[in-house]
Amino acid sequence: MRKSVYKLIVLVMISCLLLCSCSVTINEQSPPQKDSNTLSVHYLDVGQGDSIFVELPGGSSMLIDAGVSRLGESITSYISSLGYDKIDYLIATHPHADHIGSMAYIVDNMDIGEIYMPKVSTNTKTFESLLESISSKGLKIKTASAGVNIIDDEQIVADIVAPVKIDDDELNNCSAVIKIKFKNTSFLFTGDAEKEELEDITADISADVLKVGHHGSRTSTGKKFLAMVNPEIAVISLGKDNDYGHPHKNTIKCLNKINAEIYRTDKDGTIIVTSDGQEISVQTGGISMVRGE
């Protein structure tokens, strides 16, 4: 009798283990499937800074800027959660710490394809650390300047339309400005470019979606530039209750005057703008890298 009870207990324990192992397998989640027919732009809420992750049609990816220095792990985790372990195109718009702060960490911890940076330098530790990380992985930097093509295929074209010239006295005016065109929709990314740089652009910069320059500063987005772009949607990346008064009321006034839909990372969290090449949709309320919401 005791042997029978013992055998029964063992059988029950084995059954439980098998059930547990089955449940673990069932609950494992695969990375999200990438849609080869859409373009998704994630304007990450990195506080007072910029970081934009682009899911490109066909499964490749692009990262434009990387926020401040403490956010590297959060940014890489976010990208990994989307199913990416490689950044095919990494762009540092200009060497200010609120744009390249976490880029060295990202270079160190992710597989990187091509790197684009404007031909300008600074002596900050943040910039030097980024160069060291790039060098240690044997990567080369391609110059980001007007006329450089990043991607050119049947569905999607990505071009750098600025800087037209380098302003050694103002790093903001050396910002790489990128236009991505996907079928009948287009996106413009402006870094911290000021009015002087933006109004020097000679390429076609009309776009459906504009990443507003310099966190909505009054020194960046002006009437002349907005007439050139004529966006339906404007996204501003900025910190909540920042010390700079961003976005400036004049910038908001100019955007309202052209009836652009305005989205802000300080209010809307991470903003995801998706295009199927014809229609554009906007999703707000995404995770904040700085507030952990």
Please answer whether residues 108 and 133 qualify as being in contact, where contact means their C-beta atoms are separated by less than 8 angstroms: yes
- Whether the per-residue pLDDT at 18 is higher than 50: the answer is no
Q: pLDDT tens digit string along 82-140?
A: 999 999 999 999 999 999 999 999 999 999 999 999 999 999 999 999 999 999 999 99
- Give strand pairing partners of 206: none
Q: What is the pLDDT of residues 235-273, one digit of tens each?
A: 999 999 888 888 999 999 999 999 999 999 999 999 999
Q: Check residue 291 and give its pLDDT.
A: 74
Q: What does the pLDDT look like over 34-70, one tens digit per residue?
A: 666 999 999 999 999 999 999 999 999 999 999 999 9
Question: C-alpha angle with apex 252: 211 to 224, nearest 5 degrees?
Answer: 70
pLDDT at 1 over 70: no
Question: H or E segment at 150?
Answer: strand 148-152
Q: Where are the domains of the chain?
A: 1-30, 34-286
CATH 3.60.15.10 for domain 34-286: yes
Q: What is the pLDDT of residues 165-211, one digit of tens each?
A: 998 889 999 999 999 999 999 999 999 998 999 989 999 999 999 99
pLDDT band at residue 30 using 50, 70 and 90 as cut-offs: very low
Which of 214, 193, 196, 187 has its CA nearest to residue 274? Answer: 187
Checking if the pLDDT of 22 tops 60, the result is no
- Average pLDDT on 16-34 reads 38
